[in-house]
Chain A
Amino acid sequence: MGSRVPHIVVIGGGVIGTSIAWHLAKKAARVTLIESNDLASGSSGACDGLVFMQSKKPGIHLRLAMESLKRFSDLKKELPMDIEFRQAGGRVVIQTPAEYQAMEQFVQAQQEIGLDVCLMDAKDTLAAEPFLSPDIYGSTWSPLDAQVNPIKLTLGFALGARKNHACIMTRSPVLGIHTKNNRVTGVVTTKGEMAADMVVNAAGARSGLIAQMVGIDLPVRPRRGQLVVTQATSRMIFSCMISAGYIAAKFDPSLADDAGEGMSMEQTDNGNLLLGSTREFEGFCTQNTLSGIRRIISRTTAILPALTRLQVIRTFAGLRPFTPDGLPILGPVASMDGFFMAAGHEGDGIALSPITGELVADMILGQKSAIPLTPFSLERFTTPKGQAHG
């Protein structure tokens, strides 16, 4: 290690790894990002781009998301790519009176901590979104919710990092991590070995495999999500939407099976509608399934009947990095010096990427961070109290 500036290796070229690399590089750190395939070839290239505040649990989760949201407008200016960030608000569509009641409570809790969100009846909802089914029961609305192009965000972070002299290696799977006296010393890739003072595990749904390389067990599991893409069309929805059922499914995996997975809809800048999504534990399989495609289509058309005029042009599927409590794992791990976690963002990685990159970079560089990382530590799953947030 000729130079005294420590060498930081970030594993994973998804939205999290590239955000960390960009934040580190901006602060003149010596960074190498290693990606096994292409940039954004994992979940960050196979997902929606919702930056949704309403879907976050009030508490540390929502606070993290709010801090992240604040950073998007600057990113729009700073990154060398148009990330198609649009803050057009977001809506949780309510389909039954029971859902309405549940959402009333959820909204109240959100309002108490100052989130700008309100309940709307069917009439007001339909006035704002005239293509929705007249059968809906109402919605909750927040002007804060936004959307972004996740691929462009990831590529933008990566190009920004490179502009700031980060080294980016694609098509280079990490095969192993060298350690000495419980400290990381380097990584092995298909292109050879590389010394490292610090290693950041940002391998998303595959972060468990990276952690195993240094003998650490992670509770991160891949949770598949399938999406259906329509042709580009003129505006059909004016803000992004999820169903109240989605919120239920998100916070209680057992609900995903029978009570349904919920639905999400987003119309991209290009005009395509992204219809989602499923939540399935099927290992690392990223195939689409017939039943998944059919479920998505029947759920979304029930809410937005105008979809039936459109054509499906593609489907795809990605793996959400699931953790048992829905929060990411961020920061150092007690058992291995120089090894840092930045994975497990489940269905929020895109929204949380700006703040994640900033917090992890600050922590690595020993700087004061906007939010303490302790609630996100891996140890929350092993220490008896666990479940630190709330």
Chain B
Amino acid sequence: MKRAYDVVIVGSGVAGIAAANTLAGHGLEILVIDENPHAGGQILRQNCRVTDGFWEFDPRLGRSGRTVSIRKIVQSLRPIQRPKGITCVHQARVLGIFSDLQLLVHVPDTLYPGGSGSGRVLEIDAGYLLLATGARERCLPFKGWTLPGVMSLGAAQILMKSSGILPARKTLIAGTSPLQTVLALEILKNKGNVTAILDENHLTKKLGLLPLLKHHGSLAGEGAMQMLRLLIRQVRFRQGVRVTEARGKNGLSAVVTAGLDRKGNTVPGTFQTYPARALAVGHGFTANIELPVQAGCALDYDADRGGWVVRVDDALETSVAEVYAAGEITGIAGAGKSFVEGKLAAVSILEKLGEKTGPDVCVPELVRMQKQQMGYASFLNQLCQVPSSAYEAIDDEVLICRCEEISMGEIRKQISQGFVTGGSLKKATRCGMGRCQGRICQPLLFDILQALTGQTPEQIGSPSFRAPVKNVPLESFLHP
């Protein structure tokens, strides 16, 4: 590993890989950093479990100009020899971005053997920086959501994809996310059982959102096919149902649900209990904006893109010069958009460097495709969105900040005392000051503030982050 690179790419998901592929072959020194043990980000993790090579998408992918489907992305990925000039480090974390694009990076001992077991922190200079840090899931809290056995939909998927282990013999699936069906199919494929899918959305809401998919026929088709396969497998599927409580002593043993009316309010007398050792639940996604915020990149709030996202221009440059962003962090719209943006950001950087890009890459065409892919965002994020009544209905005893163990009751109290901005509520409650630095509770707090106070996003304010954006052993700083 060198101490300076022409381009540093943070994240090796679909966006990061697509960008690296496009940048390769121009004589540039490129560093790809990812904190995961393997490349692939959130959807390719199973496909990328090769150790020393690299990956490439079939260069024909996306050339037709039509929307790129997840299936095609997965199918067109292939392992290749690591191209010259590309260095790829895993289990390494970018902790901060400082002036002149100096990065603070934590690398594991495997790269610098003989250490203390806590790795070390290095400074690396980047000529250009591409942030492709992806997204994480959101979850609407309920009583007992901190019990072992309650996990995100992605966590259940990751257990299977990365380690070949089922979340439980029988898994209960809930929430509003399209990952529910993806997960259910994955579990069935692996010979596990799905107790039921408890979808909070009523069929009418879903039908109402269909017009948003008019340019995304293939995605609508994929969704329909998934449903059909689940029906054939006779998976129990209930709509308009929300988890209200997870029960158990030191781990999950049962889940209580309630039926919802059209507005999303729970209907008295519709409670039902399911025995369960694993509950996978999710309510959509939120962008991993911590690093860009720390770097000073401006944000935009757009509920249709998943909340706070990184502001970029047509070339995907952020408000900080020479820092580009691609993939879910500019708007949650799935793998197709991440692919197109990875490519577009790379081409923009190549153009800035005065490099000739191949005859098959045409910037206006990529920009058009990017806008087209972004069209899926409204459908996806509206589908996942939880009505404000759901936040109003959270019981006082439910923990909102899992790290600092701050309850909804405390949050209500401080809101009523006048702490109604994101920043002041954090100060008054400690919500978001713990280990995860608000990654789980800040988006929630934001939605709670919107629901309880009716303020605009600008009034509530965007979150702030400082280096290190992830916890890092203090010891790792002691080696210069």
Contact = CB atoms under 8 A, between A and B. Distances in A.
A96 interface: no
6 contacts: A38-B423, A168-B418, A301-B478, A311-B473, A313-B468, A316-B466
Contact of B477 (A39, A232, A294): A294
Contacts of A298: 477-478
Interface centre among B404, B423, B474 (most CB of A within 10 A): B474
Given A38-B424, A40-B427, A314-B437, A297 B472 contact: no
A297 B466 contact: no
A168 B404 CA distance: 28
Nearest to B427: A151
A231 B427 contact: no
A66 B475 CA distance: 38
B468 A315 contact: yes
A308 B120 CA distance: 12
Interface stretch (A47-55, A258-266, A285-293, A349-357): A285-293
A159 B471 contact: no
Given A313-B437, A314-B437, A297 B477 contact: yes
A39 B468 contact: no
A300 to B, nearest CB: 9
Contacts of B116: 308
Contacts of A171: 421, 459
Contacts of A308: 116, 473-475, 478
Interface in A287-339: 287-290, 293-294, 297-298, 301, 307-316
Interface string A165-204: 0001011000000000000000000000000000000000
Most chain-B Cβ atoms within 10 A of its Cβ — which of A38, A151, A162, A231? A38
A37 B459 CA distance: 11
Interface in B415-459: 417-419, 421, 423-424, 427-428, 430, 433-435, 437, 459
B265 interface: no
Contacts of B99: 287
A270 B430 contact: yes
Contacts of A230: 474
Contacts of B468: 312-315
A311 B474 contact: yes
Given A38-B423, A171-B421, A289-B98, A314 B466 contact: yes
**Binding site of A, secondary structure by majority: helix, strand, loop or mixed?**
mixed
A87 interface: no
A312 B423 CA distance: 21
Given A230-B474, A310-B474, A38 B427 contact: yes
Interface of B: 96, 98-99, 102, 104, 116, 123, 404, 417-419, 421, 423-424, 427-428, 430, 433-435, 437, 459, 466-468, 471-475, 477-478
A41 interface: yes
Contacts, number: 83
A290 B474 CA distance: 14
A293 B404 CA distance: 24
A162 B430 CA distance: 22
A45 interface: yes
A312 B471 contact: yes
B102 A307 contact: no
Given A171-B421, A294-B477, A308-B474, 18 more contacts: A38-B421, A232-B434, A270-B404, A270-B430, A289-B98, A290-B98, A290-B102, A297-B478, A298-B478, A307-B474, A308-B478, A309-B474, A311-B473, A312-B471, A312-B473, A312-B477, A313-B468, A316-B466
A45 B123 CA distance: 29
A25 interface: no
Contact of A288 (B123, B428, B467, B478): B467
A288 B104 CA distance: 12
Given A38-B421, A41-B423, A171-B421, A297 B474 contact: yes
A21 interface: no
Given A288-B467, A311-B471, A315-B468, A170 B424 contact: yes
A230 B437 CA distance: 12
A315 B98 contact: no
A231 B417 CA distance: 28
A185 to B, nearest CB: 29
A171 B437 CA distance: 24
Contact of B466 (A40, A270, A315): A315
Contacts of B466: 288, 314-316
Contact of A155 (B123, B428, B433, B473): B428
A155 B427 contact: yes
* Ranked 6 nearest A-B pairs via Cβ: A308-B475, A38-B424, A311-B471, A297-B477, A38-B423, A151-B427
B427 A290 contact: no
Nearest to A313: B471
A231 B471 contact: yes
